[in-house]
Structures are given as C-alpha cells and as structure tokens.
Amino acid sequence: MDTVKQGPREYKIDAIGKPLVFGRRPLIMGIVNITPDSFSDGGKFLDRDRAVEHGLKLVDDGADILDIGGESTRPFSDGVPLEEEIKRVVPVIEKLSSLTDTPISIDTVKSKTAELAIKAGASIINDVGAMRLDPEMPGVAVKFGAPVILMHMKGTPGDMQLNPVYSNVIEEIAEFLSVAAGNAVKAGVPREKIIVDPGIGFGKTLEHNLAIIKQLEEFKQLDMPLLIGPSRKAFIRNLLKTDNEKDISPALPEVETGTQAAVTASVLNGADIVRVHDVKNTKASLQILQAIINA
C-alpha cells in the first residue's frame, strides 16, 4: 500500500439520534468492563451500581462515548453464555442511558446482546469480530440504524496470541477492514455509519502493535473514522517490564504513562477515537497535544 498523507477529514455519524463528529478533535471512548476477568479491571464493576457510578465518572472526566462490555476478550479468554452477558450489560446500559446523554456503545459479538442493549439505550455496536461471528449482527445494526465499529482480529481471543504471523501486517489489516466494511454495506449498513479499528493486541506481536501505531495514517485511505485501543495492553507492559519480570500490573502508574504516549502517537498519526480506561488523563494529554498542534 502506498502511503498518501491526508489532511483532517470530518465525519458526522448519527448514533440513533445522538450526533458524533470526527475530525475536529479526537473523541475519547471510556471503558466499562462488567466482567470478572478483563485484564485491567476484571471484577471491579460487576455490581450494577458500581458500574453505573464508574460510567458516570468517566463522563464527568470527559468521555465522549461509553463502551460497555460483559465478555472479556483478553488473550486466552473464554466466551460467556449469552444469558450471562445480557444479565451483566443490559441493566447497566438501561440505568446509564437514563442518567446521561453520552452515547453508549455495546461491546459484543452477539446479535441478541446488541439488540437488547440498543433497546436499553445503547446507540453503537462495537464488534471485535467485525460482524463475522454472528450472521444476525448486520441485521440488528440495520434494524435500529446503529453505527458499527468493525475490528480486525486474527483468530479468536482464545488463540489469537499463540503465533500471529503476517507477511505485511498493515496491508493485511487494511484489506481485512476494507472487506469487512464492504460486507457490512452489502448487508445494508450505510458506509457512513462504519468505524474501523485495526485491533491493537488482537492477534499481534509487540512489533506488530508498534508498526500499526506508527503507520496508522495508512488506514485513513479506507476513508472511515478510525478507532484505536492501546490502553494498558501487553505491548506497553512488555516494553516497560524488566528482563526478569514475566509481566507487570496494568494498574501501575508507569503503564498508564505508557498508554498516554501510545494514545498521543495514535492521535498524531490519525486516530479519530481513542478507547481508554483512564479518561481524565487522556483528556489532559489530548488537551496539551491540541494546544501544541494549534499553536
């Protein structure tokens, strides 16, 4: 793929009556994991009221979107039954949507979860399987007019990190996303309601993740809003750990500092949305970055 440097492109998406504008500034997506086993905050927000409180805090901290998920997609994780996922996310979305106008995305690969989440107040579908894992997912997006986030993942969460190999990681991911978007359009999803995500940490080595962030500009040729989610992920921890450490805690301050470096580099290279755990620090980083860019 030839690199073509493009200037800022403004996109406007109607998220079921909630407008999203990309290109004027990067949007911040705050993560609410209602899971016992997510790599960074598993178990912290399984209780509905704690999850709602955390979501509202993220909004106060500056989140433009809340991303609610009830199934961990960390490496080597197993899926959860549909009923359990629904039980985790729907009450939280229902309560949050009554307390804030901030758009809510449902992080799921299951069409039934997505449908019930939208009925409860969600307005975006964030599908790490790029609508390949459930053939009914495009129909839900079309039925409700929901924007979709299509992410690249090599394999499944259970096996994606075993030995990910690419001949050209950027070209292969870009081709995958192009095909996924084309399939969504064929299924009736308007192209102007598609957001793409190259899938940091989903079937990629440390070197692959660094290459994606460094060459993020190349994905702008897809001409769709671009989301990136590097927050506290293993490639950051692997860069920061000492030689005798197997891993370090995602909760360490230096891991969050590393996240902010990755977020800043991503925005400089074209990210329209950054998906993060720490919204307050991210807002501060982007505020300074924007001031420097506009100086």
Three-state SS at 274 = strand
Is 275 part of the annotated catalytic residue set?
yes
Q: Is residue 106 over pLDDT 90? A: yes
Q: Residues 193, 232, 233, 237: which is the catalytic one?
A: 233
Read off the pLDDT of residues 62-98 as tens digits, 9 standing for 90 and up: 999 999 999 977 665 567 899 999 999 999 999 999 9
Say what the pLDDT of residue 72 is.
Answer: 77
Q: Which structure tokens are listed for 10?
A: 């403004």
**Tokens 């949007």 map to which residue?**
27
Say what the pLDDT of residue 179 is.
Answer: 97
Q: Do the strands 227-228 and 65-69 form a parallel or antiparallel pair, or are they unpaired?
A: unpaired
The domains located in the chain, with CATH, are 18-294 (3.20.20.20)
Is 132 part of the annotated catalytic residue set?
no
Read off the pLDDT of residues 152-168 as tens digits, 9 standing for 90 and up: 998 766 555 667 789 99
Give Cα separations from 10 to 25, 26, 55, 121, 266 (angstroms): 9, 11, 27, 26, 17
Q: Which structure tokens are listed for 42?
A: 């598993």
What confidence tier does 211 reach under pLDDT thresholds 50, 70, 90? very high
Q: Which structure tokens are listed for 244?
A: 């005798």
Say what the pLDDT of residue 1 is.
Answer: 42
Q: Is residue 206 over pLDDT 70? A: yes
Say what the pLDDT of residue 6 is.
Answer: 45
Q: Is residue 243 over pLDDT 50? A: yes
Q: Residues 48, 275, 280, 283: which is the catalytic one?
A: 275
Say what the pLDDT of residue 244 is.
Answer: 86
**Mean predicted lDDT score pLDDT of the chain:** 91
Read off the pLDDT of residues 282-294 as tens digits, 9 standing for 90 and up: 999 999 999 999 9
Radius of gyration of the chain (CA): 18
For 244-274, b where at least 16 C-beta lie within 10 A, e where not — what string?
Answer: eeeebebeeeebbebbbebbbbbbebbbbbb
Taking residues 31-39, report their average pLDDT.
Answer: 77
